[in-house]
A and B are shown apart, each in its own frame.
Chain A
Amino acid sequence: MPGPLLHVKDLRVRYLPESGGKVQALEGLNLEILPGEVTGILGESGSGKSTLASTLLRLLPASAECSGCVVFEGEDLLTAAESKLRRIRGSKIALIPQDPAVSLNPVTRVGEQISEVLRAHLRLSRSERKQRVRQLLVEVGFEDVDRIVDAYLHQLSGGQRQRVVIAQAIACRPSLIIADEPTSKLHSELHCQILALLANTVAQHDTALLLITHDPTILAGFADRLMVMYAGRLIEQGPAESVMRRPLHPYTRALIGLSHGHTSGNRASHLPSIPGEMPNPLHVMPGCRFEPRCSEKMGVCATTDPQTFSPESSRLVSCLKYGN
C-alpha cells in the first residue's frame, strides 16, 4: 500500500481580524489523502472548508497564523520556501476555484491563459504548447476548439468557463487537484456534466481529488472518502459510502437528511432543517461546537470537548456519544 500523498497533522489556523479578537478557523485537523483517491469535504459556510483549501496551498492572508504541518510528497508546505511553493502550485497541486468568472482573466484569450500554466512549469516549445492547449480543450469536452482558443471570458457560458478552469488545472498533470465548490455557481443540469468530467479526468490520470462542497448530493457515488467539517473541526470521516449510508455524528445525520428532504415529500408541511446557526467564531464556548443545535445532546456535551473516537474500523467521529 502506497503512503499518503498528503498528510495533514494538527493543523490550526487563526485569523486576526482588524476589528480585534481572534477567529479560530481550523482547530487541530488531522487527515490523509491517498494517491488517486477522491476525498469529499462536506461543510456549511463558516465550517472552515475553504480555509483548509487555502492553507494546503499556503494562500492564506498574511494576517493569518497557522501551525501544524502539511506534508506533501515528503515536504512540509507550511515551512517550504516561497520559490519551492511556486513550483508546486499549479503543477503538482492544482486548484479549481469556486467562481471561474473571478479567477480567469477577462482580457486574455482562453488559449493563452492555459498556455501560461504550461509555460510556468514545463519546458515546451511554442508549437508544442499550442498543440497541448488544443489537446486539453478537447479533453475537457470542447468540440469547437478553434473558437474557444481565441475566445475571451465574456464569450463563454458558465459551464464553458468551468471547463476552461479544469483544463488549466489538469494542464501539468498534477497529483492532487483541490476543487472548492466547483459547481455551486452552475445550474443543476450542468452540475452532473461538470462532475462527470471531473470524475473522468481524475480517474484517467490517477489524480487525487479533494472536493469541497456544502451539498452531500454531489458526493454520493463519487467520493471514495468523506470528511465532515463543523466550526473549524473535522467531526467525522470514513469511506464515503458508509458515511452516507449510516452517518454517526448527529450533525452529519441531519445534513444528509436535509438533502433527502428537499427531493421528496409534499408541500404545505415544513421542510426538515437544522435549527439555529453555526457558533460565532469570535466567541468560542467550551464543549462540543454542535451542542446548541444538537438533537441528541447530553449533559456533558456543553462542557467537555469531544475527542475523536473510532467506534468501528476505518470510521472516525468526534462525538461524546461514542465515548466508551
Chain B
Amino acid sequence: MATETIKANHSPLLRVCGLTKHYWTSGRVWRKRTLFTAVDDISFELSHGKTLGLVGSSGCGKSSLARCVTRLEGADAGEIWLEGVDIARLNSRELLPYRSQIQMIFQDPATAMNPRMTAAEIVQEPLLIQRRGTSAERQARTAELMREVGLSPDWMNRRITEFSGGQRQRMAIARALSLQPKLLVLDEAFTGLDLSTQAQIANLLLDLQATHSLTYILISHDLSLVARIADEIAVMSAGKIIELGPVRQIISTPTHPVTQSLVTSHHGFRVQHAAAGGFA
C-alpha cells in the first residue's frame, strides 16, 4: 500500500477507464425487461486540486456516473483508479479506508439530512461512523468545520428545519469535509438555490479548494455556472462523454451538436441580456 501512495503524487488523483453501468428496466405484464446502458464505456482522468464539470441534459447518465465513481453503486465493467488503487472491484470491507476520501454532496440538502438530528449531529456523523476521536474532539472539530463553511458554531444545537437552503448546503459541505476527503462529487449542488446563494456557495467551494487542495467533480445542467468554476468540462449524452476539454475550448469552439446546443442556450441568455440591459 505504501508504495502505491508514493506513486500517487505522479499519477492523477482519479483515473476512470471504460466504466459501464447497466440498469434493467422494470418488466411489466406482456413486456420483457430490457437492458438500459446508463454509463457507456466512460474514461477520464482528473488531477489533484482540479475541477471537472460534468454537464448534459437530464437522463444523460451524469448522476449514474457519479454514483459509480463514489461506489454508491457497483459498476458493471471498468476501473476506477483512486491514487493508484482500483476501487471498482473492492468489496465493502476493503473499500472502507477509501470511502472517506471520496465524499458526495447531493442536490437537495433537505432530503439528504435527517430532520430530527441537530446541526452538530449531522456534521459529525461521518466521524462517529469512522470512529475518529473522542466525543470532545469531535465536538471541537464540528465547531471548526462549521466556522470554515461560514456557519456560526453557536447554531450547533439547531435542527436543520431552522436553516435556510443555502445554510443547509453549507452544512452538507461541512459534513462532507469532516473526514478530510480528497475528492468531492457535487451532484447538482446548486440547483434550487437562489442566484446570490449559488454564488456564495460557489465562492465557498473555490476557497475550500484553495486551502485544502480539494478535487471536485461538479455535475450540473447549468453550463454557465460550471464554466465559472471548472478547469475542464465533460459533456455527456446518452451515457457517453461526447466532448471533453478545457472550459475555454468547450465554450468557444464546441464541436459536437449537443455541446453546441448547450452553449447556445448558455449564450442565449447573454444575448438577451445585451439586448435588454446592455451590460453583457
Contacts and interface: CB of A to CB of B under 8 A. Distances in A.
Contacts of B213: none
B265 A265 contact: no
B262 A258 contact: no
A270 to B, nearest CB: 5
Nearest to B276: A220
A256 interface: yes
Given A258-B195, A262-B225, A267-B230, 4 more contacts: A257-B279, A262-B224, A274-B199, A277-B167
B87 interface: no
Interface residues of B, number: 44
A45 B164 CA distance: 9
Given A262-B225, A263-B280, A220 B273 contact: yes
A161 to B, nearest CB: 12
A124 to B, nearest CB: 35
A104 B187 CA distance: 27
A244 B276 contact: yes
A217 B274 CA distance: 11
Nearest to A251: B196
Nearest to B57: A187
Main secondary structure of the interface of B (DSSP, over half): helix
A257 B272 CA distance: 14
Interface string A170-182: 0000000000000
Interface of B: 57-58, 164-167, 192, 194-200, 202-203, 206, 221-225, 227-231, 247, 261-262, 265-270, 272-273, 275-280
A27 interface: no
Contact of A263 (B166, B198, B266): B266
A45 B231 CA distance: 30
Given A188-B265, A263-B273, A273 B228 contact: no
A262 B58 contact: no
For the complex of A and B, the 5 pairs showing the least CB-CB separation, nearest first, are: A273-B199, A220-B276, A44-B194, A187-B221, A274-B196
Interface in A254-312: 254-265, 267-268, 270-275, 277-278
B196 A273 contact: yes
A255 B196 CA distance: 7
A209 B81 CA distance: 53
Contact of B195 (A220, A259, A265): A259
A323 B255 CA distance: 54
A123 interface: no
Of A189, A255, A272, A278, the most chain B CB neighbours within 10 A belong to A189
Interface of A: 44-46, 158, 184, 187-189, 191-192, 214-217, 220-221, 240-241, 244-245, 254-265, 267-268, 270-275, 277-278
Given A220-B277, A273-B199, A45 B247 contact: no
Contacts of A158: 58
Contacts of A255: 195-196
Given A245-B278, A262-B199, A189 B265 contact: yes
B200 A273 contact: yes
11 contacts: A45-B194, A188-B222, A188-B265, A191-B265, A192-B265, A215-B195, A220-B272, A220-B276, A221-B276, A264-B280, A275-B200
A188 to B, nearest CB: 5
A260 to B, nearest CB: 5
A184 B262 CA distance: 17
Contacts of B166: 277
A36 to B, nearest CB: 20
Contacts of A220: 269, 272-273, 275-277
Contacts of B199: 258, 261-262, 271-274
A105 B202 CA distance: 37
